Amino acid sequence: MLDYALAPYPPQSEETALLKRIDEKRLPAHVAVIMDGNGRWAKQKNLKRNAGHSAGAEAAREITETSARLGIQYLTMFMFSSENWKRPAGEVQFLLDMFYKNLVEQDELLEKNDIKLKIIGDMGKLPGKLQKKLHEVEENSQNHKRLQVNLALNYGSRPEILRAIRRIIAERIPADQLDEATFGRFLYTAGCPDPDLLIRTSGELRISNFLLYQIAYSELYFTPILWPDFRAKEFFRAILDFQGRERRFGSL
C-alpha cells in the first residue's frame, strides 16, 4: 500500500487529497524526468541562475523521497547533459561543485529511504574528485532495494546509442544474434525497465536527446511548472494523468 505514514502532508492538504486518488496498483514502475526551468525560475525572481540550480536540487530531493514513498521502483533524472558543457564556465563549475556537495549529503537520504544510486552517462569527462565520489556513493548504496535512482550526468542519448554499437562490434556479436534485449544490455540503463512515464517541466515540448531508445512507448507528460516549483503535489498530478491513460503499445 502507499506509504502514507512517511508522507508529511496535513490531512486536509491538496497533496493528501491527490495522494488518496492514486491507484497503488497502477503506479508507473519507472519514471524519467527532464528537469527544466531553473534559470527561468531564477530570472522571474531577479536572482542569479545559480540560485535556480540550488532550488532545483531541493526539488530533486523532494521528488526522490516522494517516489520512494509512493513505491516507484526506478527514477531517472536528467541532471547534466553532454551539451551542457556549452554553458558559461562559471555556471558549469557551480553545477559540478553542487553535484559533489549534494553527494556528500546524500548518505542520509539514500539510507533512510533504502535508495540505490546509479550514474548513467560518460563519467570519464567529469572531474576526478567528482568521479571518485560518484563511485563511492554508488558502491555504498548498491544493496538498497526500495528505489533505484539513475542520475544522468554528462549524458546524451545519441552518444549512448553509439557507445552501445561500438561495444557490440568490439564483442563481435553476430548480426543474427542481435535483438532488442541484447542491444539493451549495452545501454547505460541495462537492467532497468523502459520508462513508463516521462515528465518534462517548464513548458518545453521536446525530448532534448534524453533516453531516445528507451522511451519508445513511454507516456509523455509536459507541464509549464518550472522545475524548482515541481514538488510532490505536481508529481502526484503527473501520476494521476498517467493513470488516466490507456496504454496499447501498438495494439487495439
**Gap between the Cα atoms of 16 and 22, Å rounded:** 10
Residue 22: predicted pLDDT: 96
- Local confidence band at 9 (pLDDT 50, 70, 90 cut-offs): confident
Q: Is 84 annotated as catalytic?
A: yes
pLDDT of residue 10: 81
In the predicted structure, residue 212 carries a pLDDT above the cut 90: yes
pLDDT in tens, 89-111: 999 999 999 999 998 887 778 98
| Res 251 pLDDT > 80 | no
Instruction: Tell me which of 23, 36, 107, 114 is the catalytic residue.
Output: 36
CB under 8 Å, gap of 24 or more: what pairs does 13-19 form? 14/233, 15/232, 15/233, 15/236, 18/233, 18/236, 18/237, 18/240, 19/236
Half-sphere exposure of 190 (CA within 13 A, CB side): 12
Q: In this predicted structure, what is the pLDDT of residue 12?
A: 80
Residue in 23, 38, 46, 84 annotated catalytic: 84
Task: Look at residue 108 in the predicted model and tell me its pLDDT.
Answer: 79
Per-residue pLDDT at 7: 59
Q: Is the pLDDT of residue 218 over 60?
A: yes
DSSP-assigned states of every residue in 125-167: GS-HHHHHHHHHHHHHHTT--SEEEEEEEEE-HHHHHHHHHHH
Could you state, in order of their start, the residue ranges of all structural domains in the chain? 26-156+195-242
pLDDT beyond 90 at 136: yes
Q: 116 has which bridge partners?
A: 148
Q: Which residues contact 157 (CB under 8 A, 6 or more apart)?
A: 209, 210, 211, 212, 213
**Using one digit for the tens of pLDDT, what is the confidence trace for 145-185?**
999 999 999 999 999 999 999 999 999 999 999 999 999 99
CB atoms within 10 A of CB 217: 12
- When mean pLDDT is compared across 202-211, 229-238, 240-249, the lowest value belongs to 240-249
How far is residue 246's CA from residue 228's CA, in Å, rounded to a whole number? 30
Spell out the CATH class of 26-156+195-242.
alpha beta
Is residue 229 over pLDDT 60? yes
140 tagged catalytic: no
Starting at the edge strand found earlier in the chain, the sheet holding 197-200 runs: 115-120, 147-155, 74-81, 30-34, 197-200, 219-222
Residue count of the chain: 252
In this prediction, residue 186 has a pLDDT band, given cuts at 50, 70 and 90, of very high
Q: What percent of the chain has pLDDT over 70?
A: 96
At residue 3, the pLDDT reads 58
